[in-house]
Amino acid sequence: MKNFKKIFAVVLALAMLFCFAGCGAKDTNSGADAKAKLVMGTNAAFPPYEYVDDNGTIVGIDAEIAKAIADKLNMELEIKDMDFDSLITACAGGSIDVVLAGLTVNEERKLSVNFSDTYATGIQAIIVKEGSDIATADDLEGKTIGVQAGTTGDIYCTDDYGQENVKQYKTGVEAVMALQNGQVDCVIIDNEPAKSFVAANEGLKILDTEYAVEDYAIAVAKENTELLEKINKAMAELKADGTIDNIINKYIPAE
């Protein structure tokens, strides 16, 4: 009986020791200096808004704006690179906090997420091969159009010309490659990425007339109204002090 009491006392002491050790580790990890994390979802194949640099880091307009907002909110920014057409679902489901991906505000997306105030204006441009018989948007009837899946270019073109005339690709790069290879007659994509793709691929050009004009904003889950309010407040301050304009002008110099 005495031996049993001694064994019990030792076990109890060890249990208390482990408990205190565990509690100490938890307190360290949740100290006053620890920052909350802001998880941004994007598709890093959309220069100059988001792309992977030579060091393997996601950079661009959206990455810098998100970092400026996170700093304002005293949060640590984490960026997740995802398929574009999965971003809204991921945000609505809570696996990411926000979407910054050259994301256009439209009624369909508003059914799933809320949007911040606008921080940039985008243009849907038409890329064709030099010598193409497509001169304006009026010439797209009956043509095969390449788009990045899930983008507003995809939505608009499918609505305007029917699914049978639109080919969806995982990235804008793949859509442009299809144009180069003669699999599509043109590509419709946001103007700034279009400039990058044309600069990198000889024999392509952007038509002078745009396909559509739209606003970019940050998507936030519908139930996360507190975060949305904080983001809008931070953005207002960043607009007022010129930070957002400076970021955009860094990547898109005035012509």
User: Who contacts 247 (Cβ-Cβ below 8 Å, separation ≥6)?
Assistant: 61, 64, 65, 68
**How far is 229 from 222, CA to CA, in rounded Å?**
12
pLDDT band at 27, cuts 50/70/90?
very low
Q: Over the stretch 93-149, which tens digit does the pLDDT of each residue have?
A: 999 999 999 999 999 999 999 999 999 998 999 999 999 999 999 999 999 999 999
Question: What integer best gives the mean pLDDT of the chain?
Answer: 89
Residue 142 one-letter amino acid: G
Q: Quick one: tokens of 164?
A: 């049978």
Cα 86 from Cα 88, distance rounded (Å) = 6
| Predicted local distance difference test score (pLDDT) of residue 34 | 74
H or E stretch covering 124: strand 120-129
Residue percentage of the chain with pLDDT more than 70: 86
Q: Cβ distance 150 to 112 under 8 Å? A: no
Tens-place pLDDT, residues 217-233: 999 999 999 999 999 99
| Domains present along the chain, CATH in parentheses | 37-119+217-251 (3.40.190.10), 122-214 (3.40.190.10)
Q: What is the pLDDT of residues 51-78, one digit of tens each?
A: 999 999 999 999 999 999 999 999 999 9
Query: Could you tell me how far CA 89 lies from the centroid of its own chain?
Result: 13
Helices 61-72 and 243-251: angle between axes, nearest 10 degrees? 160
193: cis peptide before it, omega within 30°? no
What pLDDT is attached to residue 144? 98
